[in-house]
């Protein structure tokens, strides 16, 4: 990429052999189509293991966007691949996360950088989202609390910052302890929990800036005993550190674990129900009233 006097923003994105090449191309195109004028965008791409030619063709189609490619000879997992990308970051001011099958709205990077500039106390922020199916058809809104105080309260029973909407300050990654750990399908939950416990302030912008794909293997991954046990460990640990060993919130963590064991069709209906969003809105109102 050519040199520029503008500051830069990094995007961390990983792809592996089972990712859909059409969705991957759409994800990259949505990054290339950002309406931001204040920063250059640099994609740091992690290729986790050998990928098929159709994925390689997509990578080759975006030479001006992809700044660095980290190629793993074998699949080592999301956490270790992300950490390798973080260690290769250069002089970027902000760092974004993106997934290989989700869509960033054109204004995403601009609005999130503006929000971080306007809220210098925040270390990491996310955004509201729209669920989409495999064809990209909207399935419903995904709502998250805005304020740090609400986020850390909600974190006892739900992940209140959507990982493909992350925007963070590059400065927090200067700490070598601020890295991902290989918790099965829960790396991002662990990441934001540890940020909050370390005193970093979190937030969400009010705009819907990500189209989040909830189809295919999405619900199969969420009805997993292994993932359920990992989540139970993380939620219980967070509750113990923030509310104490005897907090009734431990019951919420166990109830979430039980939900991971229900049939996939039930999980699909429950996940798309309004209960999850009503709980978050209730917590937001309670926090605002304090």
pLDDT, one tens digit per residue, over 210-242 is: 999 987 655 555 567 888 899 999 999 999 999
Task: Quickly tell me which residue has 């909050």 as its tokens.
Answer: 196
**Domain-located, residue 158:** yes
| Total of domains in the chain | 1
* Alpha carbons 101 and 163: distance in angstroms, whole number: 13
Residues whose CB is less than 8 angstroms from the CB of residue 20 and which lie 6 or more positions away in sequence, other chains included: 100, 101, 134, 216
**Domain-located, residue 82:** yes
**Domain-located, residue 288:** no
Residues whose CB is less than 8 angstroms from the CB of residue 96 and which lie 6 or more positions away in sequence, other chains included: 9, 10, 11, 12, 109, 112, 166, 167, 168
Write out pLDDT tens, residues 120-166: 999 999 999 999 999 999 999 999 999 999 999 999 989 999 999 99
- What SS3 state is found at 73? coil
**Domain-located, residue 277:** no
**Domain-located, residue 57:** yes
**Domain-located, residue 79:** yes
Angle at 254 between CA 187 and CA 261, to 5 degrees: 75
Angle at 136 between CA 8 and CA 209, to 5 degrees: 35
Whether the Cβ atoms of residue 103 and residue 77 lie closer than 8 Å to each other: no
Mean pLDDT of 6-10: 91
**Domain-located, residue 250:** no
Residues whose CB is less than 8 angstroms from the CB of residue 30 and which lie 6 or more positions away in sequence, other chains included: 103, 104, 105, 106
* Alpha carbons 100 and 107: distance in angstroms, whole number: 19
CATH code for position 20: 3.90.550.10
* Alpha carbons 274 and 100: distance in angstroms, whole number: 27
Mean pLDDT of 107-126: 98
Residues in the chain, total: 290
Structure tokens at 113: 């950088």
Task: Give the β-pairing of 40-48 and 8-15.
Answer: parallel
**Domain-located, residue 184:** yes
Write out pLDDT tens, residues 232-283: 999 999 999 999 999 988 988 888 788 777 766 665 666 566 555 555 555 5
Which residue range is the domain that position 86 belongs to? Answer: 8-216
């Amino acid at each position: 990429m050519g040199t520029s006097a503008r500051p830069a923003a990094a995007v961390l994105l990983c792809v592996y052999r089972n990712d859909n090449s059409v969705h991957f191309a759409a994800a990259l195109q949505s990054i290339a189509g950002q309406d931001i004028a204040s920063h250059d965008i640099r994609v740091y791409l992690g290729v986790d293991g050998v990928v098929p030619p159709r994925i390689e063709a997509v990578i080759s189609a975006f030479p001006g966007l992809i700044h660095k490619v980290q190629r793993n000879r074998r699949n080592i997992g999301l956490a270790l691949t992300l950490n390798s990308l973080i260690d290769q970051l250069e002089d970027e001011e902000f760092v974004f996360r993106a997934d290989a099958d989700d869509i960033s709205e054109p204004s995403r990077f601009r609005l999130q950088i503006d929000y971080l500039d306007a809220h210098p106390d925040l270390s990491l922020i996310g955004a509201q989202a729209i669920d989409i199916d495999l064809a990209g058809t909207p399935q419903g809104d995904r709502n998250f609390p805005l304020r740090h105080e609400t986020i850390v309260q909600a974190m006892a029973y739900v992940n209140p910052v959507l990982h493909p909407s992350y925007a963070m300050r590059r400065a927090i990654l200067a700490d070598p302890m601020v890295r991902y750990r290989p918790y099965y399908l829960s790396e991002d939950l662990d990441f934001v929990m540890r940020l909050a416990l370390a005193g970093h302030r979190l937030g969400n912008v009010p705009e819907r800036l990500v189209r989040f794909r909830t189809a295919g293997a999405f619900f199969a991954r969420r009805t997993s005993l292994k993932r359920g046990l990992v989540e139970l460990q993380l939620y219980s640990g967070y509750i113990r550190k923030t509310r104490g060993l005897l907090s009734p919130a431990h019951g919420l963590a166990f109830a979430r674990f039980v939900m991971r064991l229900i049939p996939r069709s039930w999980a699909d209906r429950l996940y798309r129900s309004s209960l999850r969003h009503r709980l978050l809105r209730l917590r937001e109102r309670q926090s605002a009233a304090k």
